[in-house]
Amino acid sequence: MPVTTRFAPSPTGLLHVGNLRQVIHNWLFARAHGGRFLLRIDDTDPARSEERFVDAIRADLAWLGITPDGEERQSERFALYEAAFERLRDEGHIYPCYESAEELDIRRKVLLSRGLPPVYERTSLALTEAERVDREAQGIRPHWRFRLDHDAPIIWQDLVRGEQHFDPRLLSDPVIRRADGSWLYMLPSAIDDADMGISHVIRGEDHVSNTATQIQMFTAMGAPVPAFAHTALLTGSEGKLSKRLGSLGIAHFRDSGIEPAALIAKLARLGTADPVEPFVDPAPLIASFDFGRFGRAPARFDEAELAQLNARIIHQLPFEAVADRLPAGMDKAAWEAIRPNLETVAGAADWWSIVTGAAPDLAAEAALGDDDRAYLAQAAAVAATLDWTADPWHGLTGALKEATGRKGKALFLPLRLALTGRAHGPDMAALLPLIGEQQAIARLAAAAE
């Protein structure tokens, strides 16, 4: 079977960072094996599904630069589910149940009080046809469960967790359809995976018990059982499961100035034995992607580390990749001068305003003493004599060093403060030509007053 993966979100809200990690894993694995990556919108619940979230999911993938090779919507596949349901019911794999939610809850509590696993006891399976007819005559509409095969353990070789064993007798027969006829997650997902030719189901470890029951569904349908990879869940930087991770979505990262490449580079290798590296092009991530490198321990997601990685990626971005996000008038030379000092692309606007604006407000002016002011007056005079078509910064500092004997911080810092208003920043040799002769002389003279 050719490698085919899928990302199957429910459009009941915005994608969060855990969802994004699953998108990236499925996409990288498919690309690493020359396969297909599909998007499936799991919108079987019309009461909770919203079209605006479908649009947001597509937009989020587009922002990441991930283009699915196909898309399906569960709301358009009900006839397929109905046909599979009828066949499985006729073959005895699905049966009706008549207990209310309150009755089931009481029964679970009784079992727990006896130290027994709270597993559904198949009481409805024992009903006679006459008893079922009687309940339905009373207006009790059944919900439906998939009947697990208790005869053999459920075993599979997980690509992350290794060999997995489940005793089906310790699992409840899963409810697959509500009394109102609406579908729950388990069976439609398995039907779709079989119909869409999904070769690998890649998802979080919170789905491990679902996999055990879905393996039996594939078998009951006579469909090939996919391979499974269950990755460890994310934790926050504090090392504990964090509710905040459930609220960190694309909008948060985009508004924080995080580049798609940084998010992909971080989430692709988080939880593996491989170093997180600032790849602008995902090709090395695709070539090296291997579930054998993933550990079973929870993976720690640290936003501060992501911000650092983001800066390293920005320092590699060519002008052409960011030109449409830069302030008007900022050209390639300006970008390459300012880029090494940026943490986000948006930060370029601040430095461009320093380059093109009026004399800076010297917030650090207290660092300038009277001798510095005299020095800056001298610097203004020297600047007026320079050849500005060559290398004005080194021409300026070289002449001042020879004339004043200053060196190191005493030579450079007053000049930087006067020219930019900042004690730190881009290389002045690249920045000074952007400021220009007249503006530079005016700033030096103003700072000397």
Indicate the annotated binding residues.
Answer: 243
Order across the sheet with 94-97: list the strands.
94-97, 143-146, 175-177
Contact 183, 176 (CB under 8 A): yes
Hey, what's the torsion of the CAs at 38, 44, 47, 48, to 10 degrees? -30
Please count the other Cβ atoms lying within 10 Å of the Cβ belonging to residue 224: 14
Residue set of the binding site for ATP? 243
Amino acid at 250: I
In total, the chain counts a number of residues equal to: 449
Sign of CA dihedral 320, 322, 325, 326: negative
Distance CA 357, CA 361 (A): 11
Q: What does the angle CA 221 – CA 224 – CA 228 come to, to the nearest 5 degrees?
A: 115
